[in-house]
Structures are given as structure tokens and as C-alpha cells.
Amino acid sequence: MYNYEKIATYKDYLKRKIIFMKKKLIKGLSVFLIKDNFSFDIEN
């Protein structure tokens, strides 16, 4: 029983970590794209 709980907690931790990393990645990408578009607008 203890081992099963340990695995379940670890899976939950991984799921949260993946969601967090995805959010961070999306946020980083959107900021990068906005900056990229901004500099592109200035050049033209």
C-alpha cells in the first residue's frame, strides 16, 4: 500500500511539473514572439 501511494504521489508531482513547464514554455515563447514582431515592426 505504501509503495502504491508513493508511485501515485510521484505521478501527481510529474503531472504538475509538466503542466508548470508547459506554461513556462508557452509564456516564454509568446514573449519571444511579441519581441520578435516588435523589432520587425521597427525595422520596416
pTM over 0.85: no
Give the 3-state secondary structure of residue 33. Answer: helix
The better pLDDT of the pair 39, 20 is held by 20
Per-residue confidence (pLDDT) for residue 10, from 0 to 100: 92
Instruction: For residue 12, give its domain range.
Output: 1-43
Residue 43: in which H helix or E strand, if any? helix 2-43
Residue 4 binned pLDDT confidence (cut-offs 50, 70, 90): confident
Burial 32-43 (b: 16+ CB within 10 A, else e): eeeeeeeeeeee
Q: Structurally, how many domains does the chain consist of?
A: 1
Rg over alpha carbons for the chain, rounded to the nearest Å, is 19
Mean pLDDT of 9-37: 89
